[in-house]
Structure 1
Amino acid sequence: MLIRKASWRNAFCALALSAVLLCGKSAMAETTLRIAMTAADIPTATGLPNNGFEGMRFLGYPIFEGLVLWDLTRTDQLAALRPGLAEKWEQDPADNKTWIFHLRRGVKFHDGTDFNADAVIWNLDRYFNNSSPQFEAPSSAMSRARVPLMGSYKKIDDSTVAITTTKPASYFPYMVVYLLFTSPASFEKAGHDWAKVATLPAAGTGPFRITRILPRQEADLSRWDKYWDAAKMAKVDNVVLMPIPEANSRLAALRSGQVDWIEVPPADGLSSLKSAGYIITTGSYPHVWPWFYNIGATNSPFKDVRVRQALNYCVDRDGLVSLLNGTAEPSVGWLKIGDPDFGAPANLYKFDPAKGKALLAEAGYTPAKPLSFKVMISNSGSGQMLPLPMNEFLQQNLKEDCGVNVEFDVIEWQVLLTAARATPDSPSLQGAMALNISSPSSDPGVMARYFSSANFSPNGFNFEQWKDDEFEAALKTVGDSTDPKEISAAYRKAHERLVDNPPWLYIVHDLNPRAMSPKVKGFVSPQSWFVDLTLVSMQ
């Protein structure tokens, strides 16, 4: 009897232990965050993603890092820079065109290989040295456009690199932030074939690593438990990224539980989402949603500044904001009107069709000879908000209020981005006289990239081939000076010229709307295009 009782007790204890282990396993179940992007496809996963800044947001910084990174932990100010793979940097006191970057020691790529000066030079050659074995044309095109001042670079020692720009630029660290680093071993393992690198998958140094890529379907990330910054360890185990370009499809995916977070919910669905308990986040950030004027095209109507100004007076921005259910604000310049660096331009654009039509008439466009042109737009994409209904509103607005005829060429987002690097009369533009491409407005480095005459397409982001001598002089002061007051005054002057001699039709500033399940905790909506996924948890 004693033996039988002991066996019963042992069996009970075994069952109890199994239950504890099962409960413990349940309590420790992996957490997965599922995000619906606006992109039509998975951004390239070789270390420098395409698909604009949405690509950088999700397949860039979480996996592949730069010497300089963004501080994305605050909502009350524009995102600042912070040390990344470089612990610190400074201008060479003997040469203000040379920057010295002191690399973080002990960092390893996800594949276990060392991050060091050799890896930095290897990646810079990937972007800027056409004759290097690792040269990658698509990444090079993006990097040269984002860092147009790159001159030369060299290794000083294993943990120090010097980069020399083509001219002095106080804002150069704001360009370096877009150069991300991939393990050279990934390229070797893929047999020197960048097309195969993503299938390995590629190794970075970030808080997440790529585990799987399914084109057009999903990209899977997992937390990197050996991340070099213990204070920035990710809180979720996995992230699944899904390309869902159509807004109502993203909404349906959230409601059905297919995803936990969607980028840019449809404006007419916000109220119902709130009522159902979903979280809607918005926030000011450095973003402008414009049309780029094709000023350089042979027969462009936009060579005449009066035409460019006229359209800025013709746009009903408040009506468009109402269409978007308040998730945007009117844009009357590259910067927001409340920005201390907005300046005091002569033109303060508002909805004034009479003034717009008067300017058009001065330029020779009347009801008998109306202004007519084509705009290239996308059906979705990074920062594009809801481009089809927004552009349809503008088309009707310009026709009814100023007699302007606009037709659209709707193309895929990445194709539109490529078009922005075309020359003004390129056949690829199919006669388009404007491009609708949402763009950052975060710092003088971005201003230089988009508007300096040194960066005319196809070499840079000045698609318009716009040149203004007063702007050029002010931008030079911004780059040359080390006096913050002098830099700020010149920055304001440069922005005044962007308003009074506009290269763009300024339309709205996005308020960065997202919709999330109440299970998503810890998200911060920074004043940036990017987000810090390490802050997010699932409960």
Structure 2
Amino acid sequence: MTRRNRAALAAMALGAFASPAQAESLLRIAMTATDIPTTTGMPNNGFEGLRFLGYPIFEGLVSWDLTRADRPATLRPGLADHWEQAADDKRTWLFHLRDGVAFHDGTPFDADAVVWNLDRYFKADAPQYEVAAAGITRTRVPIIDRYRKVDDRTVAITTTIPASYFPYMMVYLLMTAPSSFEKGGRTWAGTAMLPAAGTGPFRITRVSPREAVDLARFDGYWDAGRRAKLDRIRLMPIPEANARIAALRSGQVDWIEVPAADAIPSLKSAGFTVTTGSYPHVWPWFYNIGAKDSPFRDVRVRQALNYCVDRDSIVSFLNGTAEPAIGWLKPDDPGFGAPANRYGFDPEKGRSLLAAAGYGPKKPLAFPVMISTSGSGQMLPLPMNEFLQENLKQSCGVEVSFNVVEWQVLLNATRALPDAPSLSGAMALNVSSPTSDAGVMARYFSSDRFPPSGFNFPNWRDETFDAALQRLSESTDPAVIAEATRTAHARLVDDPPWLYVVHDRNPRAMSPRVKGFVSAQSWFLDLSLVSVP
């Protein structure tokens, strides 16, 4: 299909929804997703799903503070107004719920609703158990052991290990009204099309798969200071970057995620607002270390590729909308540590390491990589991966082939076993990652988080890393946590489970009519701040 045809199809999809009366303020957003994220309260499509069909509608006991752009996003109270570790058990956390909160349908939010939602995610024999949502949630919050209602306004949650970072995991457990499940015929497919009720500043009003979802301001929102300024939001999946740009230029949308890098100067010249900003993100390849006969069982091969990549040229190719990545964290992050390896573009060193591992002109390193056409945090995956393919070939004689799949298929692959048929022999996956906190580090790299119980797709194990992670998990002393983080991250560099490529700078393009947007240092954003005159 040509780019022109894709743009035409996008325009047809947009046209399927008639514009509301001019008196209403409407913000139209083009997402990178290939389909509408699921609408039951635990959206798929990665963090883009959470960004647009999670947090604006459904909330957790703990939330992100997305009101500032001058620092990494921090936590704030959500549906719980405070929480603490139990005095007699570091594994147990007490969450104290807000008074006066109701779901969009008027039913009360209380401890019973929290336990009902936790059963939905973690109790396989519960009537409301949602298989797809449970699969997403269990990998993001893999350490919940048990939970109970203490009283109507208090819930106790016990983890399998002491975890100082547990509040950061709680942002991923969103609450849906139990009444929605009943109204949906006690099926999640039925609930998705109601649509479901949450507690957030917006409510879902209409769902049209593969076309659009409409949101409306919820005037009964519990936080009067954060009530939305917009009347309505329309969310549309437009996976191709050039189709999104065409929709923005023609006035069919007001906001696009991830504009094509080569279009940014002309968009600025035409008066569109283009925002960028650092945020906790890395765009890597996950090595498949666990596969039979994987070349990445040898640490020298994993290090070699990190020396073979010309990151500065990729940043230039992306018009400055990225930063070079030489580890999971950024080099200036306090937790980066002091690894022995400082990856830069050094093809000679890369080739030397490959030669020591048995690869060279007569036996080139060759392997397939599974990549996506688009997706949450995936930046511009097709041109970026083609750039990497040529870069590795020219610099170090590495031959890379691609298996191109849709974003959700690729996400599912991260939970596959190393030799699963669904991987089609892939020796690496290109999936971007958040780097916001130690809880994310734990679920991606801890040796007890191999799939399907976590995101450690490489099946990577490092004793020094595990010991450091345990120290930071069990401690409440900031100095101990900081030291352990530095030690753990140094191992992620010196014994790399991933090929680190770039950190995204989160580009968006929007009409100058869009006001109040804050480019938070986060994967997420606060749509309640935005207005369209």
Aligned to 2:411: 417
Aligned to 1:192: 186
Counterpart-to-counterpart distance in 2, 1:143 and 1:199: 21
Amino acid at match of 2:188: W
Is residue 62 of structure 2 the alignment partner of residue 68 of structure 1?
A: yes
* Count of equivalent residues: 514
Deviation at 1:28, TM superposition (A): 8.6
Structure of larger gyration radius: 1
Aligned to 1:527: 521
Which of the numbers 442, 457, 478 marks the counterpart of 1:463? 457
Which of the numbers 26, 29, 32 marks the counterpart of 2:26? 32
Which of the numbers 370, 380, 387 marks the counterpart of 2:364? 370
Counterpart-to-counterpart distance in 2, 1:400 and 1:284: 30
Counterpart-to-counterpart distance in 1, 2:521 and 2:502: 16
Amino acid at match of 2:236: M
When residues 27 and 184 of structure 1 are mapped into structure 2, their CA distance, relative to the original with a 3 A threshold, is closer
Deviation at 1:336, TM superposition (A): 0.4
Is residue 284 of structure 2 the alignment partner of residue 284 of structure 1?
A: no
Report SS of the residue matched to 2:96.
strand
Aligned to 1:454: 448
Unaligned runs of 5+ in 1: 1-25
Deviation at 1:27, TM superposition (A): 11
Give the fraction of aligned pairs with identical amino acids, expressed as a percent. Answer: 71
Is residue 280 of structure 2 the alignment partner of residue 316 of structure 1?
A: no
Is residue 235 of structure 2 the alignment partner of residue 241 of structure 1?
A: yes
Is residue 163 of structure 2 the alignment partner of residue 148 of structure 1?
A: no
Report SS of the residue matched to 1:42.
coil
Is residue 168 of structure 2 the alignment partner of residue 174 of structure 1?
A: yes
CA deviations on 1:272-301 (whole Å, 9 max, x unpaired) are 110010000000000000000000001100
Deviation at 1:29, TM superposition (A): 1.2
Aligned to 1:219: 213
Aligned to 1:327: 321
Is residue 73 of structure 2 the alignment partner of residue 92 of structure 1?
A: no
Counterpart-to-counterpart distance in 1, 2:334 and 2:508: 27
Amino acid at match of 1:37: M
Is residue 498 of structure 2 the alignment partner of residue 504 of structure 1?
A: yes
CA deviations on 1:89-113 (whole Å, 9 max, x unpaired) are 0000100000000001111000110
Amino acid at match of 1:495: H
Amino acid at match of 2:223: D
Deviation at 1:321, TM superposition (A): 0.7
Deviation at 1:499, TM superposition (A): 0.3
Report SS of the residue matched to 1:521.
coil
Is residue 35 of structure 2 the alignment partner of residue 41 of structure 1?
A: yes
Counterpart-to-counterpart distance in 1, 2:495 and 2:387: 25
Counterpart-to-counterpart distance in 1, 2:518 and 2:184: 37
Which of the numbers 253, 261, 264 marks the counterpart of 1:259? 253
Counterpart-to-counterpart distance in 2, 1:533 and 1:75: 14
Amino acid at match of 1:427: P
Query: What is the 5 A alignment of 1:468-487?
Result: 468-487=462-481
Aligned to 1:50: 44
Is residue 478 of structure 2 the alignment partner of residue 489 of structure 1?
A: no
Which of the numbers 376, 399, 405 marks the counterpart of 1:405? 399
Amino acid at match of 1:247: A
Counterpart-to-counterpart distance in 1, 2:79 and 2:353: 52
Amino acid at match of 1:294: N
CA deviations on 1:288-337 (whole Å, 9 max, x unpaired) are 00000000001100000000000000001011111100000100000001
CA deviations on 1:478-509 (whole Å, 9 max, x unpaired) are 10001001100100100000000000000000
Aligned to 1:117: 111
Counterpart-to-counterpart distance in 2, 1:27 and 1:458: 48
Aligned to 2:17: none
Is residue 59 of structure 2 the alignment partner of residue 59 of structure 1?
A: no
CA deviations on 1:389-408 (whole Å, 9 max, x unpaired) are 00000000001110000000
Deviation at 1:341, TM superposition (A): 1.0
Report SS of the residue matched to 1:306.
helix
Counterpart-to-counterpart distance in 2, 1:538 and 1:155: 42
Amino acid at match of 1:389: P
Which of the numbers 358, 380, 391 marks the counterpart of 2:385? 391
RMSD: 0.9
Report SS of the residue matched to 1:133.
coil
Counterpart-to-counterpart distance in 2, 1:45 and 1:103: 24
Amino acid at match of 1:520: V
Counterpart-to-counterpart distance in 2, 1:344 and 1:77: 23
CA deviations on 1:421-477 (whole Å, 9 max, x unpaired) are 000010000000000001100000100010001110111100011010000000001
Aligned to 1:351: 345
Report SS of the residue matched to 1:156.
strand
Aligned to 2:508: 514
CA deviations on 1:184-227 (whole Å, 9 max, x unpaired) are 00101111110111111100000000000100000000000000
CA deviations on 1:163-199 (whole Å, 9 max, x unpaired) are 0000000000000110000000010111111011111
Moved over 2 A (4+): none
Aligned to 2:7: none
Which of the numbers 421, 432, 436 marks the counterpart of 1:427? 421
What is the TM-score normalised by the length of structure 2?
0.96
Amino acid at match of 2:444: Y
CA deviations on 1:40-77 (whole Å, 9 max, x unpaired) are 00000000000000000000000000000000011111
Counterpart-to-counterpart distance in 2, 1:210 and 1:335: 36
